[in-house]
Amino acid sequence: LAEFFRRTYGPTGAFNAKPFEGSRSWAGARPEFRAIAYDSSGIAAHMGLLRRFIKIDGADLLVAELGLYGIRRDLEGRGISSSFRVVLPVLQELGVPFGFGTVRPALHKHVARLGRGGLLIVKSGIRVRSTLQVALLDKPPTRIDDAFVVVLPVGRPISDWPAGEMIDRNGAEL
């Protein structure tokens, strides 16, 4: 898996592949569940999830954070919607009201296409605070990103997602 992530994230910048040096198969928090798709060429796709409480403008909300998305380069454009559909029954079994994730602005158009089918909602204008993966004495313990927020209604309708401009992950990004 670490090699898969280095190959998948490396072309987007050496910094993005760095967390997967050695045999480490996660960048921040360790996933509770992984969906891994294989084909004759090896690992084709990956998605991880982690149940956690996030705070939206100070209000606690149980979610399954979805992260560590990865589609092998030769399969791009054919996989992420399948990944969300594959993990939906797992999210239902876990009893979470929402799946939650963030994407970089460069992936906005790719993920926004999924929203047109009604599977998920992509929200902008929300800041997300995360704990740094490694504590450093010369840096603050958290970082704040202006990412796009992906919300996947699971046990409750999207109208129940709290309004707010700041999400605190209460931990490291998945």
CATH code of the domain covering residue 134: 3.40.630.30
Q: What is the pLDDT of residue 148?
A: 87
Check: CB of residue 69 under 8 Å from CB of residue 47. yes
Residue 109 to residue 159: CA distance in whole angstroms: 23
Strand pairing class (121-123; 148-153): antiparallel
Most confidently modeled range among 31-35, 107-111, 139-143: 31-35
Q: Which two tokens stand for residue 159?
A: 């109208």
For residue 17, tell me if it sits in a domain: yes
Q: How many structural domains are present in the chain?
A: 1
Residue 173 lies in a domain: no
- Residue 94 in domain: yes
Structure token pair of residue 9:
């994230």
Asked if the structure places residue 140 within a domain, the reply is yes
Is residue 115 domain-resident? yes
Q: What percentage of the chain has pLDDT greater than the value 90?
A: 34
CA atoms within 13 A on the CB side of 56: 14
- Kindly state whether residue 69 falls inside one of the protein's structural domains: yes
Contact 123, 163 (CB under 8 A): no
Spatial contact of 21 and 5, defined as CB atoms under 8 Å apart: no
In a domain, 75, yes or no: yes
Instruction: Let me know: does 148 contact 102? Beta carbons within 8 Å.
Output: yes
Look up the domain containing 121 and give its range.
Answer: 1-168
- This prediction's pTM: 0.83
pLDDT mean across residues, the chain: 84
Residue 174 inside a domain? The answer is: no
Count of alpha carbons within 13 Å of 54, Cβ hemisphere only?
33
